[in-house]
Structure 1
Amino acid sequence: MVENFLHEYAKLIADYPEKIKIERVELGENFVEVIIYADKVDTGKLIGKDGKMINAIKTVIIGCKAKDATSYRVTVKSIE
């Protein structure tokens, strides 16, 4: 559910939505890292000025915790 939301949201923000990829990494019981891979140009857009965009995305993801006990870490990486 979270991965689908992040994928669709990142595609809306990105200049190159076809390059957006999402990877889910299980780090432990009830802890997941979601990595958003994007073009170099789009990483800045996804992070935002002073990290405001990524913090807003993380705030929405925290809302998912109400239904699911899993904690999420969201990371943005550029595709070389």
Structure 2
Amino acid sequence: MKNFPVQDFLEVYIKKIVKYPESVSVAISEGKRTDYILCIQVAEEDVGKVIGKDGKMVSALKNVISACKAKDNISYELVVASQSHTTKN
């Protein structure tokens, strides 16, 4: 599947706000309710930073994605998932 500018934006931006940027990945797949699903994978410790207080950060990200929809006429769904992060000592 081709790479989308919104996918690149999310990956770069989220890597800047999390503690473990090496654990960040943004995958895209075809959706049922929307054209595409953007799945943001982050370390368990970083899920709270991506969602934000009262969901404000994820809401802001959804607003940016909505602006992309207005430009490209492509609808996206945003999913935040965690993965365990192992620290090397």
Tell me which interval the TM-score lies in, with the shorter structure as reference length.
over 0.9
| Runs (5+) with no aligned partner, structure 2 | 85-89
CA RMSD between the two structures = 1.4
Query: What CA distance in whole angstroms lies between the structure 1 residues aligned with 2:19 and 2:53?
Result: 17
Contact between 1:30 and 1:69, CA under 8 Å: does it hold in 2?
Answer: no
Does the aligned pair in 1 maintain the 2:35–2:74 contact within 8 Å? Answer: yes
Distance 1:45 1:77 in 2: 12
Following TM superposition, where does structure 1 have runs of at least 4 consecutive aligned residues deviating by more than 4 angstroms? Answer: none
Identity %: 43
Instruction: Work out which of the two has the higher radius of gyration on C-alpha atoms and give 1 or 2.
Output: 2
- The change in CA–CA distance for 1:11 and 1:31 in structure 2 (over 3 A counts) is same
Q: How many pairs were matched up?
A: 80
Tell me whether 1:47 sits opposite 2:51 in the alignment. yes
TM-score (norm 2): 0.84
Q: Structure 1: which 5+ runs fail to align?
A: none
